Amino acid sequence: MIWFRELIVLLVLAGGGSLSAGATPGTQASDPAPPGCGGLLQQGGLVICQAPPGTQFRWNDRQVRADEEGWAMFGLGRDAGEKLEISIRPPQGAKIVEELTIEPRNDAFRVIEGLDCDKVDARTPEQKAHAGRSWVKKQDAFGTFHEGRGALDGFVRPAKGPPSSPFGPARKYVGVSAQTGEACEKVSVHRGYDIAAPTGTPVIAPAPGTVTLADPDLYYEGGTVFLDHGHGLVSVFMHLSEVDVSAGDEISSGARLGAVGNTGRTTGPHLHWAVKWRDMTRDDRSGDFYIDPALLLKLDGGKAMSARRKDGAPVQTGSINPE
Ligand SMILES: [Zn+2]
């Protein structure tokens, strides 16, 4: 990964801006790192930025602000462009433009036969009503935001077991309805990370968060938990056989959420774990999208915190102060 740290320094100097009033250029340890971004720089990844609190980061037509500790983060879509230009505007000092290179994905396309046409889509009035109620619950939860550290503490695997289906590939399901004899097909992109595990395997929080949805019986998802990590990041766990938390619960990393199951519209016991990045500057949820949980697993807490430092030294967040 390329951090363009030198470029930032040059731009700061060229702009004549002082980002740390009182600090002498070139002083060592206590110097705050220059504002900038790094992180999981791949399509489906996560950009993590650090700057004085309140700094605005703009890219495309979106923006986030650094929190009171100076951190900001935002997701990269599966189709994110190769070059990402971020405009960084601290509360004081010159605007900085950082350009990051985003690694492409190479997701497979698969055709899966044997789709149970009668099971996948809600057909009967009862099924449609169930699916409708489930949709409203999910929308409400996706529109609920809690503060938190996002990805700063890293992520751990939420269940023991091998990965069985990665994030990203488009899958075309084909089958024949047993009821009508008609062929059906459904194309979908797999927006989660599946872990193969038997029913009853504990599901734990991959990172701290607040539960925003805990329901044993959503139509497609079955037993479901949403865990809001802050910074717009929410984990979604589906097909659970047990749900052991309630909406509003604050959960620490590693704490039990429930158990793997085979509930909802699924073909066998597994955990579907998805992570959505939500654009908190928008009132509607149309700008939100899923990112790749497997990439988040590469972030352990220490690495997330030091993502901005080429030398690997931990960033002293307490020293990031515009005053
Ligand atoms: Zn899945």
Residue 158 alpha carbon to ligand 1 centre in Å: 14
Distance 64 CA to ligand 1 centre (A): 29
The structure tokens listed for 162 are: 């091998």
For residue 84, how far is its CA from the centre of ligand 1 (angstroms)?
A: 29
Burial zone of 47 (CB within 10 Å; 0-12 exposed, 13-18 middle, 19+ buried)? buried
Average pLDDT over every residue of 172-201: 91
Q: What is the pLDDT of residue 88?
A: 96
Q: Where residue 207 falls among pLDDT bands split at 50, 70, 90?
A: very high
Look at residues 95, 85, 100, 103 and name the one whose alpha carbon lies nearest to residue 35.
95
Alpha carbon of 74 to ligand 1 centroid (Å): 23
Q: Which domains does the chain have, with CATH numbers?
A: 5-105+303-319 (2.60.40), 109-291 (2.70.70.10)
Q: Give the Å distance between the CA of 237 and the centre of ligand 1.
A: 9
Count Cβ neighbours within 10 Å for each residue of 134-159 and write b for 16 or more, e otherwise.
beebbeebbebeeebbbbbbbbebbb
Beta sheet of 71-75, edge-to-edge order: 36-40, 46-50, 71-75
Please tell me the distance between residue 107's alpha carbon and the centre of ligand 1 in angstroms.
Answer: 15
Give pLDDT tens digits for 73-106: 999 999 999 999 999 999 998 999 999 999 999 9
**pLDDT at residue number 292:** 97
118's CB contacts (< 8 A; 6+ apart) are 177, 178, 179
CA of residue 49 to ligand 1 center, whole Å = 29
Half-sphere exposure (CA, 13 Å, Cβ side) for 39? Answer: 29
What pLDDT does residue 32 have?
Answer: 64
Separation of CA 80 and ligand 1 centre (Å) = 22
**Buried b or exposed e, range 206-220, using 16+ CB within 10 angstroms:** bbbbbbbbbbeebbb
From ligand 1's centre to the CA of 238, what distance in Å? Answer: 8
Average pLDDT of span 274-294: 95
Q: What is the 193 CA–ligand 1 centroid distance (Å)?
A: 6
Residue 263 alpha carbon to ligand 1 centre in Å: 12
Rounded to the nearest whole angstrom, what is the distance from the C-alpha of residue 50 to the centroid of ligand 1?
32
Q: How far is ligand 1, taken at its centre, from the CA of residue 273, in Å?
A: 7
Going from the Cα of 319 to the center of ligand 1, the distance in angstroms, rounded, reads 42
On whether the CB atoms of residues 176 and 184 are closer than 8 A, the answer is yes
Cβ-contact 2, 304 below 8 angstroms: no
CA of 284 to the centre of ligand 1 (A): 25
Strand partners, 237: 225, 273
At 306, the pLDDT band (50, 70, 90 cuts) reads low
CB 89 within 8 A of CB 12: no
Cα–Cα distance measured from residue 73 to residue 30, given in angstroms and rounded to the nearest whole number: 24
Share the mean pLDDT of the chain: 84
Decide if 269 contacts 261 (C-beta within 8 A).
yes
Q: Higher-confidence residue: 115 or 216?
A: 216
Q: Are 131 and 119 in contact (CB under 8 A)?
A: no
More confident residue, 111 or 15: 111
* Contact assessment for residue 75 and residue 104, using Cβ atoms and an 8 Å cutoff: no
Identify the DSSP state of 35.
Answer: S
Distance 272 CA to ligand 1 centre (A): 4
